[in-house]
A and B are shown apart, each in its own frame.
Chain A
Protein backbone atom coordinates (compact mmCIF):
# COMPACT_ATOMS: atom_id res chain seq x y z
CA UNK A 1 0.00 0.00 0.00
CA UNK A 2 2.81 2.39 0.83
CA UNK A 3 4.30 1.86 -2.59
CA UNK A 4 1.02 2.93 -4.10
CA UNK A 5 0.46 5.99 -1.95
CA UNK A 6 3.97 7.22 -2.62
CA UNK A 7 3.58 6.69 -6.33
CA UNK A 8 3.04 9.48 -8.78
CA UNK A 9 -0.33 9.69 -10.56
CA UNK A 10 1.26 8.34 -13.75
CA UNK A 11 2.20 5.19 -11.92
CA UNK A 12 -1.32 4.76 -10.59
CA UNK A 13 -2.73 5.03 -14.09
CA UNK A 14 -0.14 2.56 -15.37
CA UNK A 15 -0.94 0.16 -12.56
CA UNK A 16 -4.67 0.37 -13.21
CA UNK A 17 -4.17 -0.22 -16.92
CA UNK A 18 -1.91 -3.18 -16.22
CA UNK A 19 -4.47 -4.58 -13.85
CA UNK A 20 -7.32 -4.19 -16.36
CA UNK A 21 -5.16 -5.72 -19.09
CA UNK A 22 -4.40 -8.64 -16.80
CA UNK A 23 -8.09 -9.18 -16.20
CA UNK A 24 -8.70 -9.21 -19.94
CA UNK A 25 -5.92 -11.79 -20.30
CA UNK A 26 -7.54 -14.23 -17.87
CA UNK A 27 -11.13 -13.61 -18.97
CA UNK A 28 -11.18 -16.44 -21.53
CA UNK A 29 -9.94 -18.84 -18.89
CA UNK A 30 -12.52 -17.63 -16.37
CA UNK A 31 -15.25 -17.85 -18.99
CA UNK A 32 -14.24 -21.39 -19.80
CA UNK A 33 -14.55 -22.45 -16.15
CA UNK A 34 -17.76 -20.51 -15.67
CA UNK A 35 -19.43 -22.06 -18.73
CA UNK A 36 -18.31 -25.51 -17.63
CA UNK A 37 -20.36 -24.98 -14.47
CA UNK A 38 -23.57 -24.14 -16.36
CA UNK A 39 -26.15 -26.58 -17.65
CA UNK A 40 -27.27 -26.42 -21.27
CA UNK A 41 -30.19 -24.10 -20.48
CA UNK A 42 -27.91 -21.50 -18.89
CA UNK A 43 -25.25 -21.40 -21.61
CA UNK A 44 -26.84 -18.47 -23.39
CA UNK A 45 -26.92 -16.53 -20.17
CA UNK A 46 -23.53 -14.89 -20.40
CA UNK A 47 -23.06 -14.11 -16.72
CA UNK A 48 -19.54 -14.85 -15.52
CA UNK A 49 -20.81 -16.28 -12.26
CA UNK A 50 -23.34 -19.00 -13.10
CA UNK A 51 -26.79 -18.51 -11.61
CA UNK A 52 -27.00 -22.15 -10.60
CA UNK A 53 -23.54 -23.68 -10.74
CA UNK A 54 -23.51 -27.42 -11.29
CA UNK A 55 -20.82 -30.07 -11.60
CA UNK A 56 -23.06 -32.21 -13.83
CA UNK A 57 -20.97 -31.60 -16.94
CA UNK A 58 -17.86 -32.85 -15.18
CA UNK A 59 -19.78 -35.87 -13.94
CA UNK A 60 -21.05 -36.66 -17.44
CA UNK A 61 -17.59 -36.34 -18.97
CA UNK A 62 -15.86 -38.39 -16.32
CA UNK A 63 -18.53 -41.09 -16.50
CA UNK A 64 -17.92 -41.28 -20.22
CA UNK A 65 -14.50 -42.65 -19.26
CA UNK A 66 -12.66 -41.51 -22.35
CA UNK A 67 -11.43 -38.28 -20.77
CA UNK A 68 -9.88 -40.11 -17.87
CA UNK A 69 -8.05 -42.36 -20.30
CA UNK A 70 -6.86 -39.39 -22.41
CA UNK A 71 -5.78 -37.59 -19.27
CA UNK A 72 -3.70 -40.56 -18.14
CA UNK A 73 -2.27 -41.02 -21.66
CA UNK A 74 -1.17 -37.41 -21.74
CA UNK A 75 0.26 -37.58 -18.25
CA UNK A 76 2.20 -40.75 -19.01
CA UNK A 77 3.59 -39.40 -22.26
CA UNK A 78 4.54 -36.03 -20.81
CA UNK A 79 6.27 -37.65 -17.82
CA UNK A 80 8.10 -40.15 -20.01
CA UNK A 81 9.31 -37.43 -22.37
CA UNK A 82 10.37 -35.25 -19.45
CA UNK A 83 12.37 -38.00 -17.76
CA UNK A 84 14.03 -38.92 -21.04
CA UNK A 85 14.90 -35.31 -21.86
CA UNK A 86 16.31 -34.56 -18.44
CA UNK A 87 18.44 -37.67 -18.66
CA UNK A 88 19.68 -37.54 -22.26
CA UNK A 89 19.82 -33.78 -22.79
CA UNK A 90 21.64 -33.52 -19.48
CA UNK A 91 24.06 -36.27 -20.47
CA UNK A 92 24.76 -34.91 -23.94
CA UNK A 93 24.96 -31.31 -22.75
CA UNK A 94 27.46 -32.37 -20.08
CA UNK A 95 29.57 -34.41 -22.48
CA UNK A 96 29.75 -31.57 -24.98
CA UNK A 97 30.63 -29.04 -22.30
CA UNK A 98 33.10 -31.02 -20.22
CA UNK A 99 34.85 -33.56 -22.43
CA UNK A 100 37.54 -32.90 -25.01
CA UNK A 101 37.43 -35.54 -27.71
CA UNK A 102 37.68 -35.81 -31.49
CA UNK A 103 34.34 -35.12 -33.15
CA UNK A 104 33.03 -32.94 -30.35
CA UNK A 105 32.47 -29.88 -32.50
CA UNK A 106 30.89 -31.97 -35.22
CA UNK A 107 28.41 -33.59 -32.82
CA UNK A 108 27.58 -30.23 -31.30
CA UNK A 109 26.96 -28.55 -34.64
CA UNK A 110 25.00 -31.53 -35.90
CA UNK A 111 22.67 -31.47 -32.92
CA UNK A 112 22.38 -27.70 -33.06
CA UNK A 113 21.50 -27.82 -36.75
CA UNK A 114 18.46 -29.98 -36.03
CA UNK A 115 16.93 -26.89 -34.42
CA UNK A 116 16.41 -25.63 -37.93
CA UNK A 117 14.43 -28.65 -39.09
CA UNK A 118 10.75 -28.02 -38.47
CA UNK A 119 8.74 -30.85 -36.95
CA UNK A 120 6.24 -30.46 -39.78
CA UNK A 121 8.87 -31.62 -42.22
CA UNK A 122 9.54 -34.73 -40.22
CA UNK A 123 6.00 -35.86 -39.48
CA UNK A 124 5.60 -37.57 -42.86
CA UNK A 125 8.81 -39.65 -42.56
CA UNK A 126 8.02 -40.31 -38.88
CA UNK A 127 4.58 -41.49 -39.85
CA UNK A 128 6.05 -43.84 -42.45
CA UNK A 129 8.57 -45.07 -39.89
CA UNK A 130 5.86 -45.60 -37.30
CA UNK A 131 3.63 -47.51 -39.70
CA UNK A 132 6.55 -49.62 -40.97
CA UNK A 133 7.56 -50.67 -37.46
CA UNK A 134 4.01 -51.00 -36.12
CA UNK A 135 4.29 -48.02 -33.79
CA UNK A 136 0.98 -46.44 -34.78
CA UNK A 137 -1.40 -46.34 -31.86
CA UNK A 138 1.21 -46.87 -29.19
CA UNK A 139 2.74 -44.76 -26.46
CA UNK A 140 6.11 -45.31 -28.03
CA UNK A 141 4.83 -44.02 -31.35
CA UNK A 142 3.61 -40.79 -29.76
CA UNK A 143 6.67 -40.21 -27.63
CA UNK A 144 9.64 -41.35 -29.73
CA UNK A 145 10.26 -38.17 -31.74
CA UNK A 146 10.56 -36.09 -28.57
CA UNK A 147 12.81 -38.25 -26.42
CA UNK A 148 15.68 -35.81 -26.87
CA UNK A 149 15.71 -32.26 -28.10
CA UNK A 150 18.41 -30.01 -29.44
CA UNK A 151 16.95 -27.14 -27.43
CA UNK A 152 17.37 -29.08 -24.16
CA UNK A 153 20.85 -30.24 -25.08
CA UNK A 154 21.94 -26.72 -25.92
CA UNK A 155 20.42 -25.35 -22.73
CA UNK A 156 22.17 -27.95 -20.58
CA UNK A 157 25.48 -27.44 -22.33
CA UNK A 158 25.31 -23.72 -21.59
CA UNK A 159 24.76 -24.44 -17.92
CA UNK A 160 27.35 -27.17 -17.57
CA UNK A 161 29.95 -24.79 -18.99
CA UNK A 162 29.49 -22.65 -15.89
CA UNK A 163 30.28 -25.60 -13.60
CA UNK A 164 33.95 -25.33 -12.48
CA UNK A 165 36.17 -28.21 -13.61
CA UNK A 166 37.69 -28.41 -10.10
CA UNK A 167 34.55 -30.01 -8.74
CA UNK A 168 34.74 -32.75 -11.33
CA UNK A 169 38.49 -33.25 -10.95
CA UNK A 170 38.04 -33.62 -7.20
CA UNK A 171 35.48 -36.34 -7.83
CA UNK A 172 37.86 -38.09 -10.25
CA UNK A 173 40.62 -38.10 -7.67
CA UNK A 174 38.13 -39.71 -5.30
CA UNK A 175 37.95 -42.50 -7.86
CA UNK A 176 34.37 -42.05 -8.99
CA UNK A 177 33.61 -43.26 -12.49
CA UNK A 178 32.55 -40.77 -15.14
CA UNK A 179 28.90 -41.74 -15.07
CA UNK A 180 28.67 -41.31 -11.30
CA UNK A 181 30.49 -37.98 -11.54
CA UNK A 182 27.92 -36.73 -14.02
CA UNK A 183 24.91 -38.07 -12.20
CA UNK A 184 25.95 -37.46 -8.58
CA UNK A 185 28.18 -34.41 -8.85
CA UNK A 186 27.46 -32.42 -12.00
CA UNK A 187 23.70 -32.83 -12.32
CA UNK A 188 22.85 -31.52 -8.83
CA UNK A 189 24.86 -28.39 -9.63
CA UNK A 190 22.49 -27.43 -12.46
CA UNK A 191 19.13 -28.16 -10.82
CA UNK A 192 17.63 -24.78 -11.82
CA UNK A 193 18.38 -25.53 -15.46
CA UNK A 194 17.06 -29.06 -15.11
CA UNK A 195 13.80 -27.82 -13.68
CA UNK A 196 13.47 -25.28 -16.47
CA UNK A 197 14.03 -28.05 -18.99
CA UNK A 198 11.53 -30.28 -17.19
CA UNK A 199 8.87 -27.55 -17.19
CA UNK A 200 9.29 -26.85 -20.88
CA UNK A 201 9.35 -30.48 -21.89
CA UNK A 202 6.32 -31.35 -19.81
CA UNK A 203 4.32 -28.40 -21.07
CA UNK A 204 5.36 -29.02 -24.66
CA UNK A 205 4.30 -32.65 -24.55
CA UNK A 206 1.15 -32.00 -22.56
CA UNK A 207 -0.12 -29.55 -25.18
CA UNK A 208 1.36 -31.22 -28.29
CA UNK A 209 -1.22 -31.68 -31.02
CA UNK A 210 -0.14 -32.31 -34.58
CA UNK A 211 2.02 -35.41 -34.10
CA UNK A 212 -0.30 -37.23 -31.65
CA UNK A 213 -3.16 -36.38 -34.02
CA UNK A 214 -1.36 -38.07 -36.87
CA UNK A 215 0.03 -41.10 -35.08
CA UNK A 216 -2.96 -42.16 -32.98
CA UNK A 217 -5.97 -43.67 -34.70
CA UNK A 218 -7.84 -45.33 -31.86
CA UNK A 219 -9.67 -43.26 -29.28
CA UNK A 220 -7.97 -45.25 -26.49
CA UNK A 221 -4.60 -43.89 -27.58
CA UNK A 222 -5.55 -40.23 -27.96
CA UNK A 223 -3.80 -37.64 -25.87
CA UNK A 224 -5.90 -35.01 -24.15
CA UNK A 225 -5.61 -32.36 -26.91
CA UNK A 226 -6.42 -34.87 -29.67
CA UNK A 227 -9.27 -36.33 -27.63
CA UNK A 228 -10.58 -32.88 -26.81
CA UNK A 229 -10.52 -31.87 -30.47
CA UNK A 230 -12.46 -34.92 -31.63
CA UNK A 231 -14.80 -34.72 -28.64
CA UNK A 232 -15.59 -31.08 -29.43
CA UNK A 233 -16.35 -31.84 -33.08
CA UNK A 234 -18.63 -34.64 -31.95
CA UNK A 235 -20.47 -32.36 -29.47
CA UNK A 236 -20.89 -29.59 -32.06
CA UNK A 237 -23.19 -27.22 -30.20
CA UNK A 238 -22.92 -28.48 -26.64
CA UNK A 239 -20.65 -25.60 -25.64
CA UNK A 240 -20.97 -26.35 -21.94
CA UNK A 241 -19.55 -29.84 -22.59
CA UNK A 242 -16.78 -28.48 -24.82
CA UNK A 243 -15.83 -25.93 -22.15
CA UNK A 244 -15.79 -28.66 -19.53
CA UNK A 245 -13.43 -30.73 -21.66
CA UNK A 246 -11.25 -27.69 -22.23
CA UNK A 247 -11.25 -26.95 -18.50
CA UNK A 248 -10.12 -30.48 -17.73
CA UNK A 249 -7.24 -30.11 -20.18
CA UNK A 250 -6.20 -26.76 -18.73
CA UNK A 251 -6.70 -27.31 -15.02
CA UNK A 252 -3.61 -29.42 -14.24
CA UNK A 253 -1.06 -26.98 -15.67
CA UNK A 254 -2.80 -24.05 -14.00
CA UNK A 255 -2.83 -25.79 -10.62
CA UNK A 256 0.82 -26.71 -10.88
CA UNK A 257 1.58 -23.11 -11.77
CA UNK A 258 -0.29 -21.69 -8.81
CA UNK A 259 1.77 -23.91 -6.51
CA UNK A 260 5.15 -23.39 -8.16
CA UNK A 261 4.75 -19.92 -9.61
CA UNK A 262 8.10 -18.36 -8.69
CA UNK A 263 9.95 -21.46 -9.67
CA UNK A 264 8.32 -21.70 -13.09
CA UNK A 265 8.74 -18.05 -13.95
CA UNK A 266 12.41 -18.25 -13.01
CA UNK A 267 12.77 -21.38 -15.12
CA UNK A 268 11.23 -19.71 -18.17
CA UNK A 269 13.52 -16.70 -17.73
CA UNK A 270 16.59 -18.95 -17.47
CA UNK A 271 15.67 -20.99 -20.51
CA UNK A 272 14.71 -17.94 -22.54
CA UNK A 273 17.95 -16.14 -21.84
CA UNK A 274 20.32 -19.02 -22.32
CA UNK A 275 18.44 -21.08 -24.88
Chain B
Protein backbone atom coordinates (compact mmCIF):
# COMPACT_ATOMS: atom_id res chain seq x y z
CA UNK B 1 0.00 0.00 0.00
CA UNK B 2 1.06 3.61 -0.54
CA UNK B 3 2.52 5.53 2.37
CA UNK B 4 0.76 8.79 3.24
CA UNK B 5 2.79 11.82 2.00
CA UNK B 6 4.35 13.85 4.84
CA UNK B 7 4.17 17.32 3.31
CA UNK B 8 1.72 19.37 5.43
CA UNK B 9 0.48 21.41 2.44
CA UNK B 10 -0.93 18.39 0.64
CA UNK B 11 -2.47 16.87 3.74
CA UNK B 12 -6.06 17.63 2.87
CA UNK B 13 -5.86 16.29 -0.67
CA UNK B 14 -3.85 13.29 0.48
CA UNK B 15 -6.41 12.59 3.13
CA UNK B 16 -9.12 12.35 0.52
CA UNK B 17 -6.88 10.21 -1.64
CA UNK B 18 -6.12 7.83 1.18
CA UNK B 19 -9.82 7.73 2.02
CA UNK B 20 -10.51 6.69 -1.51
CA UNK B 21 -7.64 4.23 -1.45
CA UNK B 22 -8.86 2.84 1.81
CA UNK B 23 -12.32 2.42 0.39
CA UNK B 24 -11.17 0.32 -2.54
CA UNK B 25 -8.45 -1.31 -0.47
CA UNK B 26 -11.12 -2.11 2.06
CA UNK B 27 -13.15 -3.88 -0.57
CA UNK B 28 -10.11 -5.82 -1.71
CA UNK B 29 -9.58 -6.74 1.92
CA UNK B 30 -13.21 -7.84 2.25
CA UNK B 31 -12.92 -9.89 -0.90
CA UNK B 32 -9.88 -11.73 0.39
CA UNK B 33 -11.46 -12.09 3.79
CA UNK B 34 -14.44 -13.78 2.14
CA UNK B 35 -12.12 -15.97 0.11
CA UNK B 36 -9.67 -16.85 2.87
CA UNK B 37 -11.29 -20.07 4.10
CA UNK B 38 -12.33 -21.23 0.62
CA UNK B 39 -8.87 -20.61 -0.82
CA UNK B 40 -7.32 -22.69 1.96
CA UNK B 41 -9.97 -25.34 1.37
CA UNK B 42 -9.43 -25.59 -2.38
CA UNK B 43 -5.69 -25.58 -1.86
CA UNK B 44 -5.66 -28.29 0.79
CA UNK B 45 -8.57 -30.47 -0.31
CA UNK B 46 -8.37 -30.20 -4.09
CA UNK B 47 -4.99 -29.02 -5.39
CA UNK B 48 -2.65 -30.56 -2.85
CA UNK B 49 -4.29 -34.02 -3.12
CA UNK B 50 -4.16 -33.78 -6.91
CA UNK B 51 -0.44 -33.14 -6.77
CA UNK B 52 -0.11 -35.93 -4.22
CA UNK B 53 -1.96 -38.36 -6.49
CA UNK B 54 0.49 -37.61 -9.28
CA UNK B 55 3.41 -38.02 -6.92
CA UNK B 56 2.16 -41.32 -5.47
CA UNK B 57 1.70 -42.68 -8.99
CA UNK B 58 5.49 -42.56 -9.35
CA UNK B 59 6.07 -44.60 -6.19
CA UNK B 60 5.55 -48.20 -5.11
CA UNK B 61 3.72 -47.23 -1.94
CA UNK B 62 1.41 -49.90 -0.51
CA UNK B 63 0.30 -48.16 2.74
CA UNK B 64 2.15 -50.63 4.93
CA UNK B 65 5.64 -49.90 3.59
CA UNK B 66 7.38 -46.57 3.07
CA UNK B 67 7.13 -45.24 -0.46
CA UNK B 68 9.96 -45.52 -2.95
CA UNK B 69 10.29 -43.56 -6.16
CA UNK B 70 9.97 -45.96 -9.08
CA UNK B 71 9.62 -43.54 -11.98
CA UNK B 72 7.24 -44.72 -14.66
CA UNK B 73 7.13 -48.33 -13.44
CA UNK B 74 3.45 -48.18 -12.51
CA UNK B 75 2.54 -46.83 -15.93
CA UNK B 76 4.60 -49.51 -17.63
CA UNK B 77 2.92 -52.15 -15.50
CA UNK B 78 -0.45 -50.67 -16.45
CA UNK B 79 0.24 -50.88 -20.16
CA UNK B 80 1.32 -54.51 -19.77
CA UNK B 81 -1.60 -55.48 -17.55
CA UNK B 82 -4.29 -57.32 -19.56
CA UNK B 83 -6.80 -56.51 -16.83
CA UNK B 84 -6.24 -52.81 -17.41
CA UNK B 85 -7.03 -53.10 -21.11
CA UNK B 86 -10.08 -55.19 -20.34
CA UNK B 87 -11.22 -52.57 -17.86
CA UNK B 88 -10.38 -49.77 -20.26
CA UNK B 89 -12.53 -51.40 -22.94
CA UNK B 90 -15.36 -51.93 -20.44
CA UNK B 91 -15.23 -48.31 -19.37
CA UNK B 92 -15.59 -47.16 -22.94
CA UNK B 93 -18.36 -49.66 -23.56
CA UNK B 94 -20.30 -48.08 -20.71
CA UNK B 95 -19.70 -44.73 -22.36
CA UNK B 96 -20.50 -45.56 -25.96
CA UNK B 97 -23.53 -47.66 -25.14
CA UNK B 98 -24.87 -45.61 -22.23
CA UNK B 99 -24.57 -42.07 -23.55
CA UNK B 100 -26.36 -42.40 -26.90
CA UNK B 101 -29.04 -44.75 -25.60
CA UNK B 102 -29.92 -42.56 -22.65
CA UNK B 103 -29.81 -39.31 -24.63
CA UNK B 104 -31.90 -40.58 -27.54
CA UNK B 105 -34.50 -41.99 -25.15
CA UNK B 106 -34.52 -38.85 -23.03
CA UNK B 107 -34.81 -36.56 -26.00
CA UNK B 108 -37.62 -38.57 -27.56
CA UNK B 109 -39.51 -38.49 -24.29
CA UNK B 110 -38.84 -34.81 -23.62
CA UNK B 111 -39.78 -33.87 -27.20
CA UNK B 112 -43.18 -35.49 -26.89
CA UNK B 113 -43.68 -34.57 -23.27
CA UNK B 114 -43.14 -30.92 -24.21
CA UNK B 115 -46.21 -31.04 -26.47
CA UNK B 116 -48.45 -32.79 -23.98
CA UNK B 117 -50.68 -30.63 -21.83
CA UNK B 118 -52.95 -33.27 -20.33
CA UNK B 119 -51.51 -34.40 -16.97
CA UNK B 120 -48.16 -32.96 -18.03
CA UNK B 121 -46.92 -32.53 -14.46
CA UNK B 122 -47.90 -36.08 -13.53
CA UNK B 123 -46.14 -37.64 -16.50
CA UNK B 124 -43.07 -35.53 -15.90
CA UNK B 125 -43.03 -36.68 -12.29
CA UNK B 126 -43.14 -40.36 -13.35
CA UNK B 127 -40.04 -39.86 -15.48
CA UNK B 128 -38.24 -37.74 -12.93
CA UNK B 129 -38.74 -39.99 -9.88
CA UNK B 130 -35.87 -42.42 -10.61
CA UNK B 131 -33.43 -39.51 -10.49
CA UNK B 132 -34.22 -39.08 -6.80
CA UNK B 133 -33.44 -42.66 -5.83
CA UNK B 134 -30.26 -43.83 -4.16
CA UNK B 135 -28.07 -45.74 -6.60
CA UNK B 136 -27.09 -48.37 -4.01
CA UNK B 137 -30.74 -49.09 -3.19
CA UNK B 138 -31.79 -49.33 -6.81
CA UNK B 139 -28.78 -51.46 -7.73
CA UNK B 140 -30.09 -54.11 -5.34
CA UNK B 141 -33.63 -53.75 -6.68
CA UNK B 142 -32.39 -54.26 -10.23
CA UNK B 143 -30.14 -57.10 -9.15
CA UNK B 144 -33.29 -58.77 -7.85
CA UNK B 145 -35.05 -58.08 -11.17
CA UNK B 146 -32.30 -59.79 -13.14
CA UNK B 147 -32.09 -62.94 -11.03
CA UNK B 148 -32.58 -66.29 -12.75
CA UNK B 149 -35.78 -68.30 -12.35
CA UNK B 150 -37.36 -68.83 -9.80
CA UNK B 151 -36.79 -65.44 -8.16
CA UNK B 152 -36.10 -62.91 -10.88
CA UNK B 153 -39.24 -61.09 -12.07
CA UNK B 154 -37.89 -60.49 -15.57
CA UNK B 155 -36.93 -64.11 -16.14
CA UNK B 156 -40.26 -65.23 -14.72
CA UNK B 157 -41.98 -62.91 -17.15
CA UNK B 158 -39.92 -64.35 -20.02
CA UNK B 159 -40.75 -67.87 -18.87
CA UNK B 160 -44.46 -67.11 -18.70
CA UNK B 161 -44.29 -65.74 -22.25
CA UNK B 162 -42.59 -68.94 -23.34
CA UNK B 163 -39.29 -67.17 -24.03
CA UNK B 164 -35.93 -68.63 -22.98
CA UNK B 165 -34.53 -67.41 -19.67
CA UNK B 166 -31.58 -65.04 -19.91
CA UNK B 167 -28.46 -65.26 -17.74
CA UNK B 168 -28.12 -61.43 -17.50
CA UNK B 169 -25.56 -60.74 -14.74
CA UNK B 170 -24.17 -64.27 -15.09
CA UNK B 171 -23.14 -63.86 -18.71
CA UNK B 172 -19.91 -62.34 -19.95
CA UNK B 173 -21.83 -60.79 -22.83
CA UNK B 174 -25.00 -59.58 -21.14
CA UNK B 175 -23.67 -58.49 -17.77
CA UNK B 176 -22.37 -55.09 -18.82
CA UNK B 177 -25.50 -53.99 -20.71
CA UNK B 178 -27.54 -55.34 -17.80
CA UNK B 179 -25.73 -53.03 -15.40
CA UNK B 180 -26.27 -50.17 -17.82
CA UNK B 181 -30.04 -50.57 -17.61
CA UNK B 182 -30.40 -49.11 -14.10
CA UNK B 183 -27.67 -46.55 -14.76
CA UNK B 184 -29.51 -45.26 -17.83
CA UNK B 185 -32.85 -45.52 -16.06
CA UNK B 186 -31.72 -43.41 -13.10
CA UNK B 187 -30.08 -40.74 -15.24
CA UNK B 188 -32.96 -40.20 -17.64
CA UNK B 189 -35.09 -38.12 -15.28
CA UNK B 190 -32.44 -35.43 -15.10
CA UNK B 191 -31.79 -35.46 -18.84
CA UNK B 192 -35.50 -35.18 -19.66
CA UNK B 193 -35.91 -32.18 -17.38
CA UNK B 194 -32.89 -30.45 -18.91
CA UNK B 195 -34.14 -31.18 -22.44
CA UNK B 196 -37.54 -29.78 -21.47
CA UNK B 197 -35.91 -26.60 -20.21
CA UNK B 198 -33.89 -26.37 -23.43
CA UNK B 199 -36.98 -26.88 -25.58
CA UNK B 200 -38.87 -24.21 -23.65
CA UNK B 201 -36.05 -21.74 -24.23
CA UNK B 202 -36.51 -21.87 -28.01
CA UNK B 203 -38.69 -18.90 -28.98
CA UNK B 204 -42.03 -20.00 -30.48
CA UNK B 205 -41.63 -17.39 -33.21
CA UNK B 206 -38.98 -19.63 -34.83
CA UNK B 207 -41.49 -22.44 -35.11
CA UNK B 208 -44.22 -20.16 -36.38
CA UNK B 209 -41.94 -18.80 -39.07
CA UNK B 210 -40.96 -22.33 -40.08
CA UNK B 211 -44.58 -23.42 -40.30
CA UNK B 212 -45.41 -20.41 -42.45
CA UNK B 213 -42.55 -21.49 -44.72
CA UNK B 214 -44.31 -24.84 -44.95
CA UNK B 215 -41.65 -26.99 -43.25
CA UNK B 216 -42.74 -30.42 -42.08
CA UNK B 217 -42.57 -31.34 -38.39
CA UNK B 218 -39.63 -33.60 -39.14
CA UNK B 219 -37.78 -30.82 -40.95
CA UNK B 220 -38.49 -28.43 -38.07
CA UNK B 221 -37.02 -30.97 -35.66
CA UNK B 222 -33.83 -31.41 -37.68
CA UNK B 223 -33.34 -27.87 -38.94
CA UNK B 224 -34.56 -25.75 -36.06
CA UNK B 225 -35.04 -27.63 -32.79
CA UNK B 226 -31.88 -29.69 -32.73
CA UNK B 227 -29.47 -26.94 -33.88
CA UNK B 228 -30.92 -24.56 -31.32
CA UNK B 229 -30.61 -27.23 -28.64
CA UNK B 230 -26.90 -27.58 -29.28
CA UNK B 231 -25.72 -26.03 -25.99
CA UNK B 232 -28.11 -28.29 -24.04
CA UNK B 233 -26.99 -31.29 -26.06
CA UNK B 234 -23.31 -30.62 -25.55
CA UNK B 235 -23.86 -30.14 -21.84
CA UNK B 236 -25.82 -33.39 -21.53
CA UNK B 237 -23.43 -35.39 -23.69
CA UNK B 238 -20.51 -34.33 -21.53
CA UNK B 239 -22.45 -34.74 -18.30
CA UNK B 240 -23.64 -38.22 -19.25
CA UNK B 241 -20.24 -39.26 -20.62
CA UNK B 242 -18.46 -38.30 -17.43
CA UNK B 243 -21.12 -40.12 -15.43
CA UNK B 244 -20.70 -43.34 -17.41
CA UNK B 245 -16.90 -43.15 -17.34
CA UNK B 246 -17.07 -42.94 -13.55
CA UNK B 247 -19.67 -45.67 -13.06
CA UNK B 248 -19.16 -47.42 -9.71
CA UNK B 249 -22.20 -47.74 -7.43
CA UNK B 250 -24.22 -50.01 -9.73
CA UNK B 251 -21.31 -52.24 -10.67
CA UNK B 252 -20.15 -52.56 -7.08
CA UNK B 253 -23.56 -53.54 -5.75
CA UNK B 254 -24.97 -55.65 -8.58
CA UNK B 255 -22.13 -58.15 -8.54
CA UNK B 256 -20.92 -58.43 -4.96
CA UNK B 257 -20.06 -62.15 -5.00
CA UNK B 258 -17.85 -61.87 -8.06
CA UNK B 259 -16.74 -58.22 -8.04
CA UNK B 260 -16.46 -56.88 -11.54
CA UNK B 261 -18.70 -59.54 -13.00
CA UNK B 262 -17.85 -62.99 -14.36
CA UNK B 263 -14.33 -62.86 -15.83
CA UNK B 264 -14.18 -59.10 -15.18
CA UNK B 265 -16.82 -58.55 -17.82
CA UNK B 266 -18.37 -55.55 -16.04
CA UNK B 267 -15.33 -54.10 -14.28
CA UNK B 268 -14.89 -50.39 -15.02
CA UNK B 269 -11.81 -48.32 -14.23
CA UNK B 270 -13.16 -46.97 -10.96
CA UNK B 271 -13.78 -50.46 -9.57
CA UNK B 272 -10.23 -51.41 -10.54
CA UNK B 273 -8.94 -48.31 -8.78
CA UNK B 274 -10.97 -49.11 -5.68
CA UNK B 275 -9.80 -52.71 -5.56
CA UNK B 276 -6.16 -51.88 -6.25
CA UNK B 277 -6.09 -49.15 -3.63
CA UNK B 278 -8.39 -50.42 -0.91
CA UNK B 279 -8.35 -54.21 -1.30
CA UNK B 280 -4.74 -54.80 -2.34
CA UNK B 281 -3.32 -51.58 -0.88
CA UNK B 282 -1.29 -51.12 -4.01
CA UNK B 283 -1.65 -47.37 -3.69
CA UNK B 284 1.06 -46.38 -6.14
CA UNK B 285 -0.39 -48.54 -8.89
CA UNK B 286 -3.92 -47.34 -8.11
CA UNK B 287 -2.79 -43.72 -8.33
CA UNK B 288 -1.40 -44.33 -11.80
CA UNK B 289 -4.85 -45.64 -12.73
CA UNK B 290 -6.48 -42.49 -11.35
CA UNK B 291 -4.13 -40.36 -13.42
CA UNK B 292 -5.30 -42.20 -16.52
CA UNK B 293 -8.92 -41.57 -15.54
CA UNK B 294 -8.09 -37.91 -15.00
CA UNK B 295 -6.54 -37.61 -18.46
CA UNK B 296 -9.56 -39.20 -20.12
CA UNK B 297 -11.97 -36.87 -18.32
CA UNK B 298 -9.76 -33.89 -19.08
CA UNK B 299 -9.81 -34.71 -22.78
CA UNK B 300 -13.60 -34.89 -22.72
CA UNK B 301 -13.97 -31.60 -20.86
CA UNK B 302 -11.63 -29.84 -23.30
CA UNK B 303 -13.62 -31.25 -26.17
CA UNK B 304 -16.72 -29.75 -24.60
CA UNK B 305 -15.10 -26.32 -24.39
CA UNK B 306 -14.17 -26.50 -28.07
CA UNK B 307 -17.65 -27.55 -29.12
CA UNK B 308 -19.22 -24.81 -27.03
CA UNK B 309 -17.04 -22.11 -28.58
CA UNK B 310 -17.83 -23.11 -32.14
CA UNK B 311 -20.46 -20.82 -33.63
CA UNK B 312 -23.80 -22.51 -34.04
Contacts and interface: CB of A to CB of B under 8 A. Distances in A.
B301 A116 contact: yes
A209 B49 contact: no
A173 interface: no
A51 interface: no
Nearest to B27: A99
Interface stretch (B28-36, B82-90, B172-180, B207-215): B28-36
B165 interface: no
Would you call the interface of chain B mostly helix, strand, loop, or mixed? helix
Interface in B38-60: 38-39, 41-42, 45-50, 52-53, 56
Interface stretch (A12-20, A60-68, A157-165): A12-20
B32 A268 contact: no
Contacts of B190: 268, 272
B138 A246 contact: yes
Given A101-B28, A120-B270, A23 B126 contact: yes
Contacts of B246: 118-120
Contacts of B156: 46
B109 A116 contact: no
B225 to A, nearest CB: 16
Nearest to A121: B290
A124 B283 contact: yes
A102 B27 CA distance: 11
Given A18-B113, A28-B141, A269-B197, A121 B132 contact: no
Given A114-B46, A120-B293, A249-B134, A18 B116 contact: yes
A148 B38 contact: yes
Interface residues of B, number: 89
Contact of B126 (A22, A35, A206, A273): A22
A104 interface: yes
A225 B136 contact: yes
A261 B256 contact: no
Contacts of B112: 14, 17-18
Interface stretch (B12-20, B69-77, B95-103, B143-151): B143-151
A73 interface: no
A210 B249 contact: yes
Interface in A54-107: 88, 91-92, 94-95, 99-104, 107
Contacts of B126: 22-23, 25-26
Interface string A213-251: 010000000001110110011000001001101110110
B151 A44 contact: yes
A170 interface: no
B131 to A, nearest CB: 8
B115 interface: yes
B136 A228 contact: yes
B52 A128 contact: yes
Contacts of A21: 109, 127
Contacts of A23: 126
Interface in B279-295: 283, 286-287, 290-291, 293-294
A253 B274 contact: no
Nearest to A91: B34
Contacts of B291: 121
Given A107-B39, A178-B27, A242 B129 contact: no
B248 A210 contact: yes
A4 B129 CA distance: 25
A28 to B, nearest CB: 5
Interface in B176-204: 182, 185, 188-190, 193-194, 196-198, 201
Given A19-B119, A224-B134, 18 more contacts: A4-B118, A26-B130, A28-B138, A28-B141, A99-B30, A101-B32, A111-B38, A116-B297, A117-B46, A117-B50, A124-B277, A125-B50, A209-B136, A225-B249, A232-B253, A246-B138, A257-B125, A273-B201
The 5 closest A-B pairs by CB, nearest first: A22-B126, A125-B49, A246-B137, A269-B197, A225-B136
6 contacts: A26-B126, A28-B141, A44-B151, A46-B153, A124-B56, A257-B129
